[in-house]
């Protein structure tokens, strides 16, 4: 008989617990979740990149709505549980929903500590714990005024860095003499303060807050010294406390947190607890690695595998601020029975300290160079006697037994049970065995099967080295190639920084990202122009001088210097009137060749450069717009006749193709996009070799993507199946927008899909309706500002781009 499992809270720990439970006992429980937040499960440790602009909320979702639907899980969003009746075995939410349970898991997390000073409740005073806090900070950051962050720990520094990236003037107040004093020694704390201040953030240590000032809103922070620091935003980041109110009221044993044994069972045998609200052996935890270990133990307990027990292990501290590398673990306090080994490199900003007791490592602090952190941690966990390597210990693993010239020597020497990914508790042997068993060859696949480097990402380099060692020539990591000789940055970094730094013009990008040339080149300018068009559709004015000649003249240059003109025929459908207009243009301008293209259109070849404005003027009078045969954008949607004429047709393929093309034309994309809709599985429109294809079937529409039929020959992959034409349109548009936002310039969809991973694309576009709708809405928004057809007012009548290089005539003037 299926038991009823109810979970209070939907954070990272219960989410991971469910993953393990569904794998071990997929049919044992009927599962219901109550989540006080009005959303699905997301990665809280990635809130800092969301605040800085390096990631979007959609990118940090762990389980979208589709995941809960797939597993038959009932999720109550925005329902805060207010009562547990242990006798009746029921829970009740603040919205009046009551559920019975056989087993209950409490995962209420923690609450931020707010220092009790006057003014703490003023508008503009925020904590930093969840997405709502980040959203409020993003709104405040739009003012680009002044922010004060109270607290110089991990969260405080990450909040300060994010607000500074958003353009605010930020001051960090920290009551102790050095930053992150619980995780770093004073020397490393000093270096950290230098690194933070180099980012334009002011740091005040030994700063005790007396009051927050303001009349109806925050205006400043007063220190105990009487000094007043102006502020329009105050962020409290001074610590967290386990959220134990619900458990206390239910009569469970509570001390600092909800007390459990090492099987995650509370004082009530039918109630478990996981996450930041939990206390085990007098300890409560805030870092993700032990929370995930709790999740694994709780899942085993619920599944009936009771051998699993929680065992305390120190967890490394890492700061998620781009460009600041630090690593700290263990006990680094001074003591008479301890000795230390220190390495300093002032010019490189490197500081390393290893603390020993009885010739065993008990603590490590690394700043500026942290690659050996996992190795030091392994020696610490195993209590290895380091007497034999005492003289070379501080130089790291590669130097043991002499200087090694092999960059993989340290990885090879790493023990099989050495922890690689602290967030998810993944050891080296887990990675190597999964690679061997499943034949994995990509980082994305290793992440999907092991979760190594899938959380904060700081161990990505180590995972890639393990893959290189395991696969040899079979692993070809994507080496970051600079966009061109004008910059050392790759496409991904440029695109990330454009968003993170809110760069909205090409000169601004080149200045802020330290371009090596004054104006860029033919490789980087078109790419920058595309990224700015795609990222800031409402604010950036498309720079036609940064486009290739074909895009500037709306025609393809041929080998003899003449041009090829292709007017758009929606879905390959035309009429006698359109054909007559084309024939008239051919005769009038003595165009020497006319050809039907593979995309079901008519190509006029041999048009003289000086005739192009007049040719388009005449075509425009007949209602034609460009077919964009030259574009990094949607070119064609090839169709068959479908149910209108064909006796095998299952759906109106022509109608859907025309609808897709009219909805999406004019949207710039990283590379050309070709689509097709076939009315039945006979596939007359050849949809299975296109960037995006649709195969109509009796039950609806099968969506394909990532095909190629050019230099590379590749069949499509099935993304999913939908029932209605509206759903098909939404999926195709959302898929294209995801590609627009993540693709590198000139990277075709099939290459982008290979890099991102089909499973990840399916998760976001098919399994998560909310995320799909968000992509769809952003595409629609960007279309409002499309500037791709300047000779007509179909898309935008506000621009009069010069028909460069044929100045000074514009398309609008030519049409008139």
Residues belonging to the binding site for [4Fe-4S] cluster are: 640, 646, 680, 684
Measured in whole angstroms, the distance separating CA 421 from the mean position of its chain's CA atoms is 19
Binding-site members are 640, 646, 680, 684
SS3 132: helix
Q: Which tokens hold the place of 729?
A: 């349109």
In angstroms, the CA 452 to CA 441 distance is: 14
Measured in whole angstroms, the distance separating CA 684 from the mean position of its chain's CA atoms is 38
In angstroms, the CA 625 to CA 786 distance is: 14
With CA atoms as reference, report the closest residue to 30 among 302, 297, 305, 291.
302
- DSSP assignment, residue 130? S
Q: Which tokens hold the place of 798?
A: 């506000």
In angstroms, the CA 83 to CA 37 distance is: 17
Binding-site members for siroheme are 684
Asked if 746 and 40 count as a contact pair (C-beta separation under 8 A), the reply is no
SS3 605: strand
Residues in Cβ contact with 704 at an 8 Å cutoff, skipping those fewer than 6 apart: 687, 688, 690, 692, 693, 694, 695, 716, 717, 718, 719
With CA atoms as reference, report the closest residue to 574 among 597, 555, 542, 557.
597
- Distance set, CA 10 to CA 23, 41, 278, 478, 546 (Å): 18, 6, 15, 35, 47
Q: Which tokens hold the place of 787?
A: 């500037």
Asked if 173 and 209 count as a contact pair (C-beta separation under 8 A), the reply is yes
SS3 578: helix
Instruction: Count, in order, helices (H) and strands (E) of the chain.
Output: 25, 40
- DSSP assignment, residue 467? H
Backbone angles phi, psi at 21, to 5 degrees: -65, -45
Asked if 291 and 315 count as a contact pair (C-beta separation under 8 A), the reply is no
SS3 91: strand
169: β partners: 146
Helices (H), 480-624: 491-500, 506-512, 524-535, 549-553, 576-588, 612-621
């Amino acid at each position: 008989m299926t038991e009823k499992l109810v979970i209070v809270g939907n954070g990272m720990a219960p989410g991971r617990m469910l993953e393990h439970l569904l794998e071990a006992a997929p049919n044992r429980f009927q599962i219901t979740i109550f989540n006080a937040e009005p959303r699905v499960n997301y990665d809280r440790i990635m809130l800092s990149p969301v605040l800085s602009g390096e990631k979007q909320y959609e990118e940090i979702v762990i389980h979208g709505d589709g995941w809960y639907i797939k597993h038959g899980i009932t999720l109550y969003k925005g329902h805060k549980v207010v009562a547990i009746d242990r006798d009746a075995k029921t829970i009740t939410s603040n919205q009046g929903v009551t559920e019975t349970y056989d087993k209950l898991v409490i995962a209420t997390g923690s609450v931020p500590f707010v220092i009790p000073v006057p003014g703490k409740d003023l508008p503009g005073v925020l904590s930093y714990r969840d997405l709502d806090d980040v959203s409020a900070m993003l709104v405040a950051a739009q003012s680009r005024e002044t922010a004060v962050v109270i607290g110089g720990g991990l969260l405080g520094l990450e909040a300060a860095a994010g607000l500074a990236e958003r353009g605010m003037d930020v001051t960090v107040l920290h009551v102790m003499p050095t930053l992150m004093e619980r995780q770093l020694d004073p020397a490393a704390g000093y270096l950290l303060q230098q690194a933070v201040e180099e980012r334009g953030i002011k740091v005040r240590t030994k700063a005790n807050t007396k009051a927050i000032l303001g009349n109806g809103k925050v205006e400043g922070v007063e220190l105990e010294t009487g000094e007043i620091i102006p502020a329009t935003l105050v962020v409290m980041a001074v610590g967290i406390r386990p959220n134990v109110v619900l458990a206390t009221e239910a009569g469970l044993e509570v001390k600092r947190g909800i007390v459990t044994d090492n099987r995650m069972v509370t004082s009530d045998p039918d109630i478990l607890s996981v996450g930041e609200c939990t206390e085990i052996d007098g300890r409560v935890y805030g870092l993700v690695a032990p929370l995930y270990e709790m999740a694994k133990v709780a899942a085993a307990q619920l599944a009936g595998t009771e051998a699993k027990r929680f065992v305390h292990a120190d967890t490394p501290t890492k700061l998620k601020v781009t460009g600041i590398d630090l690593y700290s673990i263990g006990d680094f306090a001074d003591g008479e029975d301890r000795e230390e080994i220190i390495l300093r490199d002032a010019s490189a900003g490197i500081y390393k300290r290893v603390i020993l007791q009885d010739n065993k490592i008990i603590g490590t602090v690394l700043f500026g160079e942290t690659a050996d952190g996992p190795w030091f941690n392994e020696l610490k966990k195993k209590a290895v006697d380091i007497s034999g390597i005492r003289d070379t210990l501080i130089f790291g693993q590669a130097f043991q037994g002499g200087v090694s010239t092999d960059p993989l020597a340290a990885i090879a020497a790493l023990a099989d049970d050495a922890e690689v990914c602290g967030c998810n508790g993944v050891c080296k042997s887990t990675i190597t065995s999964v690679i061997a068993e499943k034949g994995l060859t990509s980082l994305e696949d290793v992440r999907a099967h092991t979760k190594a480097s899938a959380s904060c990402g700081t161990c990505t380099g180590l995972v890639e080295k393990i893959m290189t060692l395991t696969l040899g020539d079979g692993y070809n990591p994507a080496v970051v190639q600079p966009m061109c000789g004008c910059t050392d940055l790759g496409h991904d970094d440029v695109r990330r920084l454009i968003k993170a730094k809110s760069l909205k013009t090409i000169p601004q990008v080149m200045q802020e990202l330290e371009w090596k040339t004054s104006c860029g080149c033919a490789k980087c300018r078109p790419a920058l122009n595309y990224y700015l068009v795609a990222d800031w559709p409402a604010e950036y004015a498309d720079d036609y001088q940064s486009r290739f000649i074909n895009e500037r003249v709306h025609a393809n240059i041929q080998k003899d210097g003449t041009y090829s003109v292709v007017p758009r025929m929606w879905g390959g459908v035309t009429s006698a009137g359109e054909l007559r207009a084309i024939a008239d243009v051919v005769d009038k301008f003595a165009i020497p060749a006319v050809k039907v293209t593979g995309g079901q259109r008519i190509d006029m070849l041999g048009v003289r450069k000086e005739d192009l404005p007049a040719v388009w003027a005449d075509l425009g009078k007949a209602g034609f717009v460009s077919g964009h045969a030259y574009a990094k954008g949607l070119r064609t949607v090839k169709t068959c006749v479908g149910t209108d004429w064909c006796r095998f047709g299952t759906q109106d393929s022509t109608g859907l193709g025309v609808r897709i093309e009219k909805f999406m034309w004019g949207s710039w994309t990283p590379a050309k996009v070709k689509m097709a809709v076939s009315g039945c599985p006979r596939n007359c429109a050849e949809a299975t070799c296109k960037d995006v294809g649709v195969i109509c079937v009796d039950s609806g529409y099968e969506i394909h993507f990532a095909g190629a039929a050019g230099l590379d020959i590749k069949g499509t992959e099935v993304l999913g199946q939908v029932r209605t034409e509206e759903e098909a349109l939404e999926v195709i548009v959302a898929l294209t927008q995801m590609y627009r936002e993540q693709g590198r310039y000139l990277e075709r969809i099939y290459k982008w899909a290979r890099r991102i991973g089909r499973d990840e694309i399916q998760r976001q576009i098919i399994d998560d309706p909310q995320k799909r709708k968000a992509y769809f809405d952003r595409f629609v928004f960007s279309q409002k500002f499309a500037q791709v057809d300047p000779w007509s007012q179909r898309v935008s009548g506000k621009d009069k781009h010069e028909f460069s290089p044929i100045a000074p005539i514009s398309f609008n003037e030519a049409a008139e």
